[in-house]
Structure 1
């Protein structure tokens, strides 16, 4: 890896127009004041950084549930998946990953499988770190069926300042673990509903890397929480 690649990450196409807007505003600020112009430069760099889309390398072994987002594990609890997905109303272990405005916001599939349901639901914009955000906030939910027939739900949840959930995938599309499936701007949360009987291997407060950090093992029976 070149030194440049350590600091300069590729940007997702969703961010191009936002960076362009920030850059145009920055030019205008320089016409008003040099100080304001340099503040604009800083905000433009932040915008580019927000939409970064670094290369991620999933674990080689299958049968793992990977984090769908960069951020911090904010909640681990039993909850029923969103009704609009049509899954059984049985409480499953839900692992929530909270993303702040400095995290990479490209979302990745936790497992390999087929997208059998996509459901968008409008809602409110509470702080995404709060428990009630799962039920009340705007969200977009995916139901993924794995080769062994088990299903997993992953839910994009808008946050306090997030006003746009983007989903890249379509019904019946097949995903590999770690594939990009969406993006949220600007600050939000991802919930993963693990299959029944699967125990998470992460703890509240743990830092997650999308497409790389293992949340759970679908194969091993030697689970450690």
Structure 2
């Protein structure tokens, strides 16, 4: 299954690859060169298909837990001052996505969308310390009665040139449901209450909608 954000790009890529294969087969007479170009075209198509794949995820709904919004690797776990929405200290957990990861963004908790804002910006590499404040990004805050408010921020990277955000204020968010999509390499930051019990470690690989990032301390 492929994500709807990729349908147009997949179609254009497929047409271009087929046309390229026909042209190469017709006009390149050197066997090894023709074979090399055909293999490169097929690999390019496979990479595009892989990037826009949208596998089904089995989210276990739990208002006391925060699930990972994306696939990737945990690169930041620290206490920070979040100044866009909360204006107070929060626990930040950041997940970096490489171009080969699934790039669907999912709601980390169920609840009501109380804030959603897009920011144009730069395209620093996603792991840059200033990427969270200076890159193109969207900020979404979901609130429920159990966990309170959880902020997740999509951040464009050096290769990501478009962030898609589906969340609108007053929307009903379902944990693990689609919140957006980021095209070609990026990062997502989570900002959690200080009384959160973090359940992941640095460099741990996580799966969007399934891996538990944190849960409330009892």
Structure 1-normalised TM-score?
0.88
- Once the two structures are TM-superposed, the CA of residue 82 in structure 1 deviates from its matched residue by 4.9
Output the CA distance in 1 between the equivalents of 2:198 and 2:83.
Answer: 20
The answer to whether the 8 A contact 1:107-1:182 is kept is: yes
| Map of 1:7 onto structure 2 | none
Point out the structure with max Rg over C-alpha.
2
Output the CA distance in 1 between the equivalents of 2:147 and 2:38.
Answer: 56
Output the CA distance in 1 between the equivalents of 2:146 and 2:111.
Answer: 9
Structure 2-normalised TM-score?
0.90
Output the CA distance in 1 between the equivalents of 2:12 and 2:83.
Answer: 36
| Map of 1:27 onto structure 2 | 18
Q: Deviations over 1:102-136 (max 9, x none)?
A: 00000111001100110111111111022221121
- Once the two structures are TM-superposed, the CA of residue 149 in structure 1 deviates from its matched residue by 7.0
| Map of 2:148 onto structure 1 | 150
| 1:120-131 matched pairs, under 5 angstroms | 120-131=118-129
| Map of 1:5 onto structure 2 | none
| Map of 1:3 onto structure 2 | none
Runs of 4+ in 1 over 4 A off after TM superposition: none
Q: Deviations over 1:178-210 (max 9, x none)?
A: 111100010000000002321311111000000
| 1:27-176 matched pairs, under 5 angstroms | 27-30=18-21, 31-32=23-24, 33=28, 34-35=34-35, 36-83=37-84, 86-87=85-86, 89-148=87-146, 150-176=148-174
| Map of 1:215 onto structure 2 | 213
Output the CA distance in 1 between the equivalents of 2:80 and 2:178.
Answer: 25
RMSD: 1.5
Secondary structure in structure 1 of the residue aligned to 2:200:
coil
Gaps of 5+ in 1: 1-9
Secondary structure in structure 1 of the residue aligned to 2:179:
strand
Output the CA distance in 2 between the equivalents of 1:204 and 1:164.
Answer: 27
- Once the two structures are TM-superposed, the CA of residue 60 in structure 1 deviates from its matched residue by 4.7
Gaps of 5+ in 2: 29-33
Pick from 9, 13, 22: which aligns with 1:18? 9
Higher percent of residues as strand:
2
Secondary structure in structure 2 of the residue aligned to 1:29:
helix
The answer to whether the 8 A contact 2:61-2:175 is kept is: no
Output the CA distance in 2 between the equivalents of 1:102 and 1:38.
Answer: 19
